[in-house]
Structure 1
């Protein structure tokens, strides 16, 4: 089995320890020669980088581990790029959430005006990353977790239409699958999903067990009668518990399919707005919770010189999916994952240029998506409206168009009102002047 060289972009992320642990756990499937962490924030990355060296020394000493802020070092001679960058960091995420909330709109990092702002920031750095990787490692696979994945995927498809080694993925469908499996006391690895939608905007139409039985009706029944919570509920902040609990409401109103949890913001914007605290948002929660815990634990590990007793290096869906997707591609395993690809007829009654999220088998030539066919009017209408928002957002970036930015936000189901759209757009322009192109 070939030993792969990996660069993890966003090496200072709180999610990095989970990805690193997944790498050491899955060495039998995905052999490693070198792992390099890359981040523009040296201070954040230093703690995680030193933790990484200790973890690999204990669990995979044959693997070379390094960290750097030099992209010329990071991207040279790599087989896979694992990308999870956050342009602007938590300071700008806080603005994404609090500016809309201050104006009476949903404040969320990937949905609505917050997702719009984050998307415009992400595009520039993602395009730069792809160009740098292609210059230094032309054949590398780029596996992208960077949010908002729907906007990023659409922009990359528009700018690099012939690059077949960029794959945008999201771990939320996997998180949901793990939670469904726990709900029915079943091995998640023996469940096969069918799914369609956009990123953070989709539905499971069926979930088959190893005998070919659709267990989705059973999952719906249990969720409707007993509620729904994430598989790792004890490790989740309260906002995530509230998010999963909304599945019960969505199933009561729209029982056809099992929904992605992010749909709550689009289906119930007024209700969700009433539940959000404009002074203490998800960013504050993360800073006080996961952020504080991860960096304190990594610092403790570095000080003690061992990761053997650490609670921060547990496996999670975020890390496992990234590594397993890479393994399926590298070893031509053709396993099924839910990924983001250009539609091109997968959903027959949607435009070809939609970046659709569907189940696909993954091998050495990338994803082979499974056809969905026609979808019903309600779901088609929702997706077409959301795609129009995403497409206009990308065009606003590429053309520097204020009008298209305003059109995008007016179309978004969390905004709708054009006067509110203009108000929040102007506020976001002021906050993002160092990151966005000028919109005229």
Structure 2
């Protein structure tokens, strides 16, 4: 089995490598190709990757290339984990929206739209190269904003599934609190990428006992602290929202907070510099503890599970992924991309049935889906008016003057990445 990782020079990659090494019986990789235009980063990351494989007695071969076509040739699956513009672009996404009193964040709001506009054309170009080189390869997208990027891929006819680590993070957290194995925890996970709720936490499987009320009663403070939300929100809802819902449920508070400290991008850039220095140490042969603070926890386990199911029979039959709605949420179009439990196999992902949702959740999902429609249109066709309409439709913006000001700032800060600007 051959896998290619586009964005293989990312500081995330050793997390992925560690999972591939530990879970080699689930996903037996013979060749892993790390693809990245940054040859210097590739050298550092691939060196550590080979040492991790060697330490854990993994027989797979790790190669590198800056050539996408060569890297994806004959690959059974291609993982996308790229960031167009790097941390510098992310830093802009997280700062200029604050000038208009709107949240600055890399995957939602105006910053999230900027990232989508930069990313969708690049990902579609990569996907076309994959299709020309190997039309049977699966594309697993971990590149944010995952929902919009996955929809772009599916809409263009690619074999693609979107992946996020939010659900597996909750599964692992709840398993620790319940003192059970993670495989015993099944989540009633519903929503869109970075706009989701855990409506139930079931033991033993989809039809198991819902222990979410017990979790909230016994561990509500810890759960709320992890979400960085007031416990009253969690208690009132009676569910566990994704931590990205903080930008919606406490928008003004978050804006004030973000205006008083360095951006997350600045923190991550400093962390990446330190990590790359560590990766260059020939004595290092395991992922460093610092990597856990970088983000992407349990990404490797989720990626292995998904790839194993798409390529064979090694993965879990039901997983939380991003894929076409196809009637699972009846208030959305079939071609909307949602993030729910789905049955995954060689033919792709099929969402499981979702019980009727409270309008409190359905309304916000529908609103953000409408924004994502407009965002994808802007990413594919360009133009100031399309950017403006997407911003005006976003529930975190929604005011004419805000949308006008943010449109000008978005284009000014991203002109080098927008072919039409």
TM bin, normalised by shorter chain, reads over 0.9
- CA deviations on 1:171-200 (whole Å, 9 max, x unpaired) are 111111211222222222111112211100
Q: 1:41-120 to 2 correspondence within 5 Å?
A: 41-60=38-57, 62-120=59-117
TM-score after normalising by structure 1: 0.89
Query: In the superposition, relative to structure 1, how do residues 183 and 202 fare at CA in structure 2: closer, same or farther (>3 Å)?
Result: same
Q: Which residue of 1 aligns with 2:307?
A: 326
- CA deviations on 1:383-414 (whole Å, 9 max, x unpaired) are 11101111101112223232221121112122
Query: In the superposition, relative to structure 1, how do residues 135 and 285 fare at CA in structure 2: closer, same or farther (>3 Å)?
Result: same
State whether structure 2 residue 169 is matched by structure 1 residue 175.
yes
State whether structure 2 residue 204 is matched by structure 1 residue 222.
no
How many residues end up aligned between the 2 structures? 415
Q: Which residue of 1 aligns with 2:285?
A: 307
TM-score after normalising by structure 2: 0.93
Question: 1:76 offset after TM fit, Å?
Answer: 0.7
State whether structure 2 residue 381 is matched by structure 1 residue 386.
no
State whether structure 2 residue 416 is matched by structure 1 residue 434.
yes
Question: 1:26 offset after TM fit, Å?
Answer: 0.6
Secondary structure at the counterpart of residue 228 of structure 1: helix
Decide whether the 8 Å contact of 1:344 with 1:351 is kept in 2: yes
- CA deviations on 1:360-389 (whole Å, 9 max, x unpaired) are 122222213211143222212111110111
Runs of 4+ in 1 over 3 A off after TM superposition: 308-316
Decide whether the 8 Å contact of 1:349 with 1:375 is kept in 2: no
| Matches of 1:168 and 1:38, distance apart in 2 | 19
| Matches of 2:263 and 2:280, distance apart in 1 | 26
Query: In the superposition, relative to structure 1, how do residues 422 and 253 fare at CA in structure 2: closer, same or farther (>3 Å)?
Result: farther
Deviates more, 1:398-407 or 1:92-101: 398-407
Query: In the superposition, relative to structure 1, how do residues 243 and 426 fare at CA in structure 2: closer, same or farther (>3 Å)?
Result: farther
Q: 1:133-172 to 2 correspondence within 5 Å?
A: 133-160=130-157, 163=158, 165-172=159-166
Question: 1:334 offset after TM fit, Å?
Answer: 4.7
Decide whether the 8 Å contact of 2:12 with 2:291 is kept in 1: no
Question: 1:107 offset after TM fit, Å?
Answer: 0.6
Query: In the superposition, relative to structure 1, how do residues 374 and 218 fare at CA in structure 2: closer, same or farther (>3 Å)?
Result: same
Question: 1:425 offset after TM fit, Å?
Answer: 1.3
Deviates more, 1:273-282 or 1:6-15: 273-282
Question: 1:348 offset after TM fit, Å?
Answer: 2.1
Q: Which residue of 2 aligns with 1:206?
A: 200
- CA deviations on 1:94-146 (whole Å, 9 max, x unpaired) are 11111112332111110101100001111011101110111111111111100
Gaps of 5+ in 1: 230-241
State whether structure 2 residue 347 is matched by structure 1 residue 365.
yes
Secondary structure at the counterpart of residue 7 of structure 1: strand
Gaps of 5+ in 2: none
Q: Which residue of 1 aligns with 2:251?
A: 269
1:126 to 117, 123, 127: 123
State whether structure 2 residue 403 is matched by structure 1 residue 421.
yes
| Matches of 1:426 and 1:278, distance apart in 2 | 24
Query: In the superposition, relative to structure 1, how do residues 15 and 381 fare at CA in structure 2: closer, same or farther (>3 Å)?
Result: same
Query: In the superposition, relative to structure 1, how do residues 108 and 298 fare at CA in structure 2: closer, same or farther (>3 Å)?
Result: same
